[in-house]
Chains A and B, each alone.
Chain A
């Protein structure tokens, strides 16, 4: 057992079921999922024509989000089609990031071979989760682009043989598109993981006072990162469905 700060870059494996590894981040993802699904289920049972405060708030948020998406995508049909994806990205990531700072997450665990294994770890501090989310976002964006513009027109955005400059621009577009996979996943992972490390370090220096305001700040960052992930998905969808000739 070693004292001091231990920063582990990857989610720790707690055990395995039929060769399927169970990590602490997977466990927490399931916990948040159960919380969200149960919450949504009981909320849907309590929907009324004359809304209470919670229902009015959620309705306000949904209407606002759809209105904003309609503005960005310039189509209400598309806004309503992509609203579930964008909203789920925000809600899932935001809840994970907020629950991360609840007591017990990261601090409850057991010692295994003189190494401390926390039972729960925020999935957003596990690259598996952020990369999975980035891939979902990436494929949604690309498939939407192909479905809207047609394969050849969409491919024409990246492979442009009409001029040298066009070809280079297309190549840069292609690279930046693929780069989204990395930027999406590492942005979320880096922000949340760094926040966790910072709170950990602050706790090492001044355990009873310093972490509190930092935790508050990190909870705010968690919300912002959830919003950033959802908004970027929305904006990239918009970029993908723009006709290459209209864009100029």
Chain B
């Protein structure tokens, strides 16, 4: 066994030194490579998870805002429709009122005219009656005069 070891140059001091070398590399890489890299990976994973969560929240917020805007637009639409309907109704009422008023005025005018016409006729008749009476008087006077 020792012959074999000496043929390959196995020396317990050197073997120990190489084991220590490996241990140093292990500790150094652990401290400078594995720990920071794995910590970075964990940190990034956490960051991504947080970002996804936040994106979800923002999306929900957007959806809510969208819904709210839609509801508000719908309400405004309904209100506008109502306003138009009221205006239209008001206009119809006004129109009816105006037409009725105009009709009434026309009727009044017509009535007035016919009344005036009747009055004129009456007056004319009265005047002619007076004329007839005067003529009769005159005729009578004339007759009387002749008889004298």
Contact = CB atoms under 8 A, between A and B. Distances in A.
Contacts of B17: 20, 26, 128
Interface stretch (A28-36, A160-168, A194-202, A237-245): A28-36
Contacts of A30: 21
B24 to A, nearest CB: 6
Contact of B28 (A37, A126, A132): A37
Interface in B15-37: 15-19, 21-26, 28-30, 32-34, 36-37
Interface stretch (B6-14, B59-67, B126-134): B6-14
Contacts of B26: 84-85, 88
Contact of B21 (A10, A23, A33, A131): A33
Given A11-B9, A47-B40, A132 B16 contact: yes
Nearest to B7: A9
Contact of A136 (B19, B30, B33): B19
Interface residues of A, number: 44
Interface in B31-54: 32-34, 36-38, 40-41, 43-44, 47
B36 A47 contact: yes
B32 to A, nearest CB: 4
Range for the number of chain B residues in contact with chain A? 20 to 34
A132 B18 contact: yes
B8 A62 contact: no
A58 interface: yes
A107 B18 CA distance: 23
B8 A127 contact: yes
B34 A132 contact: no
27 contacts: A10-B8, A10-B9, A20-B13, A20-B17, A21-B13, A23-B14, A26-B21, A37-B28, A40-B28, A41-B32, A44-B36, A47-B40, A80-B38, A84-B30, A88-B22, A88-B25, A88-B26, A88-B29, A123-B21, A127-B9, A127-B10, A128-B15, A128-B17, A131-B10, A132-B15, A133-B22, A189-B8
Interface of B: 7-11, 13-19, 21-26, 28-30, 32-34, 36-38, 40-41, 43-44, 47
